[in-house]
Structure 1
Amino acid sequence: MFTGIIQALGKIKSMVHRGEDIRLTVSSEKLDMSDVALGDSIATNGVCLTVTDIGDDFYCADVSAETLRYTGFAHYKTGSVVNLEKAMRPTDRFGGHIVSGHVDGVGEVVNIVKHSDYIEIWISAPTELAKYIAHKGSITVDGVSLTVNDVQGRQFMLWIIPHTLQETVIGHYKAGTLVNLEVDVVARYLERLMLGDKAANNNTKTDISMAFLAENGFLKR
C-alpha cells in the first residue's frame, strides 16, 4: 500500500523487451535504497512494481503485458522521468490517501492554466472512470495523491502548488500528456456494497443508476 506522497524522481535507464513483457531498470540518486529488498514494492508513476534486482541507485522490475495494456508504460521510453514511492510501513505518516498502486486507466492532460501561485490542470478521464471522480474527492495521478477541485463530465481539474511541480513529474506535463489514474478505492468498494445480495449474481452489472438507488432505498420516491 502507498500514500501518494512522492519520495523521489527517477529515470528509466532501460526497457528490455522479453516477449510481451518488459524488464525495466529505474535509476534514482535521491531515493534511499538502503532498506529496499528483493520482492519489495515500489510505485513507479503510480504502478506497483516488484523489485527483481537492486543496486545503490537503481532497481529492476518486470512489467507485464497487462500492465502495459492498461497504463502509460506503453508510451514510456528510455530517459522518461517517473515518480517513485516505496511501499509504506505501519509507522509512516499517512499524508495522502489509500493508494493501491493498481492503475484503473489512462487519462490525458487537456489544458494547463498558470496562476500566480499555482497551476490549474484539466485532465480527461476514461468514460468508465468518470463516475468515481467527485468534487473534493481524492484521485491518484501518476502516483501523486491529489484533491479534485472541479468536475465537468469526464474532465476534472486539479490545483498544483509549486512544491508539487518541482518534486514530481507533474512539472513536465503539457497538453496531450498521458497519465496513470487510480480512483479512490473507497468509491469502488461502495459501488460493490450497494449491490447487496445482488453482487452474488454473475450477470449483475456494477453500474449504479438513479433507478437502482431508488429501488434499494437510497433515494426518496
Structure 2
Amino acid sequence: MFTGIIETLGTVTHLEKDGGNLHLSISSSLSSELKVDQSVAHNGVCLTVVKIQDDQYTVTAVEETLLKTTLNGLKEGEPINLERAMILGSRLDGHIVQGHVDTTAVCSRVEEKDGSWYFTFTYDLQPHHITIEKGSITVDGVSLTVVNSEKNSFSVAIIPYTYENTRFKQYSKGSRVNLEFDVIGKYVAKLVANSQ
C-alpha cells in the first residue's frame, strides 16, 4: 500500500528486455535504504526490488504490467516518480493507493494559473473508471484531488512544490500517464453493477 506522496524522482539508467518482461534499473537517493523483495511504486506502478548495487536498483515489470501501464514507453535518462510502501502507524498524507494501475490517460490540456497549473486528462470510459468532484485520483503515482470531473476526463490543480518535485513539469498535451482510481469508488461501482 502507498499514499501517493512522491518521495523523490529517480532516473532510469538501463532498460533490458527479457522475453515478455522488462528489467528497469533506477538511480535514486533511496537506493541505499532499499532491500531486495521490497515494494516501490514507479510512476504509480508497484514493482519489487530484485537487485541493488551502489546507488542503483533493479525491478522487473512483467508483460501484463507493460500492456496496462506507460512503463513500456520509458527511456533511459528519463525521470520517474518513486514512493516506498507506507509504514503502518504513520500519517496518511495522501490517500490509500494500491500501486495497481487501472488504465492510462492522455494529457489533453495544460493551463498555468497565477502560480499553479491545471492539467486535464482524458481516458477510455469503463464502468469502474469513475471520478467524482473533490474525490481522489492517482496520476503516475501522485495522490491528487479531482476538479472538473467529467464522463471520461478530469482535471487536477498542481501546486509549485508538486510541479517541481514530480514528473508534472515534463507533461504537455499528448503525454501519457498511469491512472489508479480511488479504491473505495471502484468497490462501490462493482457493488452497484452487481446489484442490477
TM-score over 0.5 (shorter chain): yes
Deviation at 1:59, TM superposition (A): 1.2
Distance across 2 between alignment mates of 1:40 and 1:107: 28
Residue 124 of structure 2 is aligned with which of 93, 110, 126? 126
Give the Cα separation in 1 of the matches to 2:45 and 2:17. Answer: 18
SS of 1:38's equivalent?
coil
Partner of 1:2: 2
Counterpart Cα distance in 2 of 1:158 and 1:124: 12
| Structure 2 CA distance for aligned equivalents of residues 141 and 37 of structure 1 | 26
Q: Residues 4-153 of structure 1 correspond to what in structure 2 (within 5 A)?
A: 4-28=4-28, 30-31=29-30, 33-34=32-33, 36-128=34-126, 131-153=129-151
Q: 1:80: how far off? A: 1.5
Give the counterpart letter for 2:9 in structure 1: L
Specify the SS of the correspondent of 1:164. Answer: helix
The CA deviation at 1:92 is 2.5
- Aligned partners of 1:146, 1:107: CA distance in 2, in Å? 15
The answer to which structure has the higher strand fraction is: 2
Distance in 1, matches of 2:72 and 2:31, equals 27
2:18 maps to amino acid: R
**Structure 1: runs of 5 or more not aligned:** 199-211, 213-221
Q: How many residues align?
A: 196
Q: Deviations over 1:194-221 (max 9, x none)?
A: 356x6xxxxxxxxxxxxx4xxxxxxxxx
Distance 1:152 1:189 in 2: 20
Shift of 1:32: 5.8
1:10 and 1:84 in contact (8 A); partners too:
yes
Taking the aligned partners of 1:26 and 1:129, their CA distance within structure 2 comes to 35
Distance in 2 between the 1:173 and 1:102 partners? 21
Secondary structure of 2:149's counterpart equals strand
Q: Indicate the percent of aligned positions where both proteins have the same amino acid.
A: 38
Partner-residue secondary structure (3-state), 1:146: strand
**How far off its partner does 1:112 sit?**
0.4
In structure 1, distance between residues paired with 2:87 and 2:137: 21
Distance 1:129 1:25, change over 3 A: farther
Quote the Cα distance in structure 1 between the aligned partners of 2:94 and 2:100. 16
Structure 2: how far apart are the matches of 1:68 and 1:195? 28
Kept in 2: contact 1:130–1:153 (CA 8 A)? no
Q: For residues 114-163 of structure 1, what are the alpha-carbon distances to aligned partners after superposition, in whole Å with 9 as ceiling and x for unaligned?
A: 11121111100221167511111100000000000112331111100000
CA contact (8 A) 2:139 2:180 kept: yes
**Does the 8 A contact of 2:129 with 2:186 survive in 1?**
no
Q: Distance in 2 between matches of 1:124 and 1:152?
A: 9
What is the alpha-carbon distance in structure 2 between the residues aligned to residue 113 and residue 11 of structure 1? 27
Q: How big is the shift at 1:192?
A: 2.7
How much is the aligned-residue C-alpha RMSD, in angstroms?
Answer: 1.5
Runs of at least 5 residues in structure 2 that lack an aligned partner in the other structure = none
Partners of 1:129 and 1:111 in 2: CA distance: 24
Paired residue type of 2:44: G
